[in-house]
Amino acid sequence: MLVTQEFTVKVDGNIILDDLHLDFGPGIHVVMGPNGVGKSTFAHALMGNPKYQTEGAVQIDGKDLMCLETHERAQAGLFLSFQHPTPIEGLSNFQFLRQAIKTSSIANSLSTYRELLSEFNLPEGFERKSLNVEASGGEQKKNEIIQMLMLDPKVAILDEPDSGLDVDAINVLSKQLTKFANQQNKTLIVITHYQQLIEKLSPESITIFKNKRAKQFDDISIAYEILENGFGIDV
C-alpha cells in the first residue's frame, strides 16, 4: 500500500534519512528505533511537512505522493497522528471532524463519534470541547484514533499512540487498531516501543531505524530481542 524508493530526507541540506526502500503492505507494521533517529521525521516527511526536503519516490496504491501538497496527500488516503497534537481554541472536536469528512449526515456522524467517545471512555460532552484544548495527553491520543477511524484513510501512521494511556485504554486501542487494519486494503504503521501494544497488534513487519537508514524484518521476534537487549543490531 505504501512504498518508498530511494527516499531521502534532509533538513537545511543535512541528510537525516538516507535511501530508504520500504514496503508497507496491508495490515499492521511497527516502526522502532533509538530516540532521535528520525522515526517522526519519516512520518512528517511522508505527510509533506515543508520543514523537510525530500528526494526519491513515495507511492500509495501506485499513486505518486511526492508531487502533492499535504492536504492532497490526505485526500489520497494518508493519515498522520502526532506526538503532540496542536490545540485549536474555538474549533470543537466534532466540528473539526465534520469539516474534514464533509458528510451530509451530521446526525449519523455525531452518533458514531459519541459511540467511539464512550468506547474510549472519554467524558460526556467531549465533542463540544475545543480541539486538544485543556485535554490530557491520553485524551488527545484517544481523540486522534477516533479521528482516524472516522476519516477512514488507506494508510495511517500513528506516532506513539500509546503515550499517556493506561492499561485499559491500551486494550481498547489495540482492539480498534486491529479492527481497522483487518479491513480490506488498509495499512497501519505504528511507531512504538511498548511491548504490550506490539504483542496485541501482532504486526506483519518490524522496521528498525538506525544510523540514517531503515531495515524491515518479517520476523517480529526482532522486536522482543530489541526490547530485551537494545538496538545493537546491524541495520
C-alpha cell at 221: 521476534
Determine the structural domain holding residue 156 and report its residue range.
Answer: 2-85+152-229
User: What is the CATH number for 78?
Assistant: 3.40.50.300
Q: How many domains does the chain have?
A: 1
pLDDT at 233: 67
Cα distance between residue 29 and residue 220, in whole Å? 10
- What's the CA gap between 36 and 14, in Å, rounded? 15
Q: How far from chain centre, in Å, is Cα 43? A: 8
What are the φ and ψ backbone dihedral angles of 175, each rounded to 5 degrees?
-65, -45
Is the residue at 32 inside a domain?
yes
Does a structural domain hold residue 212? yes
pLDDT by residue (tens digit) across 129-145? 999 999 988 899 899 99
CA angle 56, 58, 61 (to 5 degrees): 150
* 58: in domain: yes
Helices (H) and strands (E) in the chain, counts: 8, 12
pLDDT of residue 44: 96
234 domain residue, yes or no: no
In a domain? residue 14? yes
Rounded Cα distance, 231 and 217, in Å: 14
- Residue 89: the pLDDT is 94
Q: Which residues contact 171 (CB under 8 A, 6 or more apart)?
A: 200
Residues of the chain with pLDDT below 70 are 103-104, 233-235
Q: Could you tell me if residue 98 is inside a domain?
A: no
